[in-house]
Structure 1
Amino acid sequence: MSLFFATVFYFGFVYVVRGLAFVDSAKTEHSHCVCVPFWQCKEDFSGLEDDLGVMDIRSVFDDKVSAPCTDDLDVCCKVECGKGSGSASVYIGDKMYYAISEQATSSRIMGETRNAEFAEFPWMLGILKGRTFKCGASLIHPKVAVTAAHCVSSKAIYTVRAGEWNWEEKTEPLEHQDRAVDKVIFHSDFQPESLQNDIALLVMKLPFKLTSNVGVVCIPTRNSDVDMRKCVATGWGKNSFKKGTYQPILKKIDLPLIQRNKCEFALRRSRLGPTFALHRSFMCAGGERNRDTCKGDGGSPLMCPLVDQPDRYQQVGIVSWGLTCGLANTPGVYVNVVIFSDWIDKQMRDLGFDTQLYRY
């Protein structure tokens, strides 16, 4: 499925991450971190000075993180799920590199979608079957991605790409990373015909390195507090159902969540008929003409900002299915991620992975 868009270009900055300190243990607090220059770890610089006001940046986090950084100017900064760099430019060393984007005056194709900024959604992944783009996904752990079950097969060989932004550009500020999929874990109740329980986890053979453009998204619990009016979907899918083309630059579109009864009523008025019942594993968003996800966006995340931290996102949905694309009064249908929160935790514990990394 795809996104209709108008381009917008923002300027800002992020710093390059110099390395990764990675300890995978559910029992270790702050077990995942990225090594960054000390001035980047906290916006207010708190916690970086001792009682005498003298910085000891080599041992600041010794009591929290068991994997120290090798550079004397670096500290091991805790990974925060659902938080992107949100910038179109990146410092590498002392030089700034600008991400390549379309001009802000580019013509609008359909709706109000627009280019995502470089590293704005660092958990956004692309699934490749051979050299062919298959679907989207999102990173919840350096070795685990979540996607729609209909996107993958247990018999096929897949590669997952993280840190990608523009598939046609080879001079992006930071390189993308590719990892081979070792295992696909399908929900046991997944129904390929109806797409009920349309969720799967992809386990990588090797972990991704967490950097400015590769991060993890938050997975909500039942008591999560998100702003349902400001949700956003991302993807590289087609911009039209019949004659559309896949988009090289990651697109984003604002899609408010739709109440379940209103969604079911709208779908019953379609060709699905008056007896259609929306399965509990689904939720809905959108419903405005020409503002929708479309073919190729399957498996991609639908995210809502936290009420108390609007710059951080929880993934509430996974692009699953819809009736063509962009029909008025016909919402898109997404996997309801929150009801699978416990299932995700169980699979992660069975794998021996930390379940707190993707929790807010």
Structure 2
Amino acid sequence: MMSRLISVGLLLLALNPDSKAQDTSSALCRQDELCTSVQRCEESDDSGRKGIAPRISRFCGVGRICCEKAQLESWDMHASNPQPTRPITAIQNKVSLFAEPPPNESCGLNMECVPRKLCRDNNVINDSGIKLINPRISTIPCSKSLYRCCAVDQQVEDSQSPYVEKEASFKYKNCGYSNPQGLIPDNDKFNYTEDVSIFGQFPWMVGIFTGRQDFLCGGTLIHPSLVITSSHNLINETVDTLVARAGDWDLNSLNEPYTHQGRRIKEIIMHPEFDPESLFNDIAILLLEEPINLGPHIQPLCLPPPESPQVINQLLEATCYATGWGAKEADSDKLEHVLKRINLPLVEHDECQAKLRNTRLEARFRLRPSFLCAGGVEGKDTCKGDGGSPLFCTMPGQTDRYQLVGIVSWGVECAVEDIPAVYANVPYLRNWIDAKIKGLGIAIQAT
């Protein structure tokens, strides 16, 4: 009889979603949550996704779920002054496709545009000791990056490439070191745009592909056996459907001086509190079946210290970049097949929240601590296809050494002034990362 009365009482509360009295404490909820009706939790949502399912699906009674106290209090505070509503479109899930490049071209009599690695070093020493450029190498530029105009008799097989010896003699220093000038030794005449990286410049970039070699998302190498990426890109994937490729640069080419390496995935570790609707805690760790062999073009990125006021202040003063193969325009579904490089400023939490409240997310939007922001600069942004890719910043007192700060997660628009993009907050999530890596029996080299 008593259990029936309790059930009836809970049902009456569920039928009266506007009553604050229905918000109760429950042993089934966290300290920052109250037990309330499903309808009240949905209506009070302030994550920016109107009409989504409850963010936390732990039930605490009939028709009742655990819901954030701050969300409910914010809803009640604004109930007397409702904001005009506008349609909310889906958060951009940054995945797209790319097109094939044009064919190779001839560049003169007995001259061909070939990958740089398949042309000799082109330097000879005459009897007087003066170094000369081999006259059989044309100065005519090729229209494709990483190609040079080379005489037919100067071309070599892959096994004879001068880069083979350079890769074999590589010595790893530590995480986070970039190659500021890239890894092309000769004078590169190719006309790169400002937002394109140089081959090998950021050696921690990873492309994650489906088993059919379709590009899925970006990732970051943090250890020869570990890649960090976004959870939202992996929802419908398993270890049997994914391949991680390190050392890639041009997705349409196999002609980079150093070859990329592909690895199958042994384990996918998603954050247990990742929310596929609001994208809270949008982080995942991929354990590779076999370690990546480090080289000049493949090296891990450092992890940042756990979040603190000092760390945040240092990051706000640092130089930060995002890299990825995503589209440059919000209305484009075409990947940039050559790796992008975008210089972006970090945006302080409260400032970012205020700017996002001026968008269709509206005035009650709350930026959760598992997110941080960067950008808001016209014409410069991550966009569709960049999901899972890294946002990294210089380490204190260093110019060419970097640490992972964010993971591309979502955005309202792309490259619009005063609308920053939103990233998973790696310093905030650092303790979770450490716990999972320790559980795998893997040690990360100290910085």
TM-score (norm 1): 0.73
Report the residue type matching 2:427 in the other structure. Answer: V
Q: Structure 2 matches for 1:128-277, cutoff 5 A?
A: 128-130=209-211, 131-153=213-235, 155-156=237-238, 157-222=241-306, 224=311, 225-226=314-315, 228-277=317-366
Alpha-carbon displacement from aligned partner over 1:116-144 (angstroms, at most 9, x marks no partner): 11111111000001211010000011111
What's the secondary structure of 1:127's corresponding residue? strand
Matched, 1:16 2:166: yes
2:177 paired residue number: 83
Structure 2 unpaired stretches of 5+ = 1-93, 96-144, 147-161
What's the secondary structure of 2:326's corresponding residue? coil
Residues 180, 205 of structure 1: 8 Å contact kept = yes
For residues 227 and 16 of structure 1, the distance between their equivalents in structure 2, rounded to whole angstroms, comes to: 37
What's the secondary structure of 1:151's corresponding residue? coil
1:301 paired residue number: 390
Go from structure 1 to structure 2 and tell me whether the alpha carbon gap of 1:98 and 1:186 turns closer, same or farther (over 3 Å shift).
Answer: farther
For residues 190 and 231 of structure 2, the distance between their equivalents in structure 1, rounded to whole angstroms, comes to: 33
Residues 413, 419 of structure 2: 8 Å contact kept = no
Matched, 1:312 2:401: yes
Q: Which runs of 4+ in 1 moved over 6 A?
A: none
Residue identity (%): 37
* Aligned residues: CA RMSD: 2.4
More helix by share: 2
Residues 86, 118 of structure 1: 8 Å contact kept = no
Structure 1 unpaired stretches of 5+ = 3-8, 19-34, 37-76, 91-95, 107-112
Residue 82 (structure 1) shift: 0.6
What's the secondary structure of 1:218's corresponding residue? coil
Residues 228, 304 of structure 1: 8 Å contact kept = no
Greater Cα radius of gyration, structure 1 or 2: 2
For residues 338 and 259 of structure 1, the distance between their equivalents in structure 2, rounded to whole angstroms, comes to: 14
Residue 98 (structure 1) shift: 7.6
Residues 318, 395 of structure 2: 8 Å contact kept = no
1:57 paired residue number: none
For residues 198 and 411 of structure 2, the distance between their equivalents in structure 1, rounded to whole angstroms, comes to: 26
Q: 2:201 aligns with which of 120, 127, 139?
A: 120
For residues 307 and 89 of structure 1, the distance between their equivalents in structure 2, rounded to whole angstroms, comes to: 25
What's the secondary structure of 2:317's corresponding residue? coil
Residue 264 (structure 1) shift: 0.3
Residues 301, 317 of structure 1: 8 Å contact kept = yes
For residues 102 and 246 of structure 1, the distance between their equivalents in structure 2, rounded to whole angstroms, comes to: 20
For residues 213 and 295 of structure 1, the distance between their equivalents in structure 2, rounded to whole angstroms, comes to: 25
Bigger RCO (CA 8 Å, 6+ sep): 1
For residues 280 and 314 of structure 1, the distance between their equivalents in structure 2, rounded to whole angstroms, comes to: 19
1:349 paired residue number: 438
Residue 155 (structure 1) shift: 4.3
Report the residue type matching 1:221 in the other structure. Answer: P
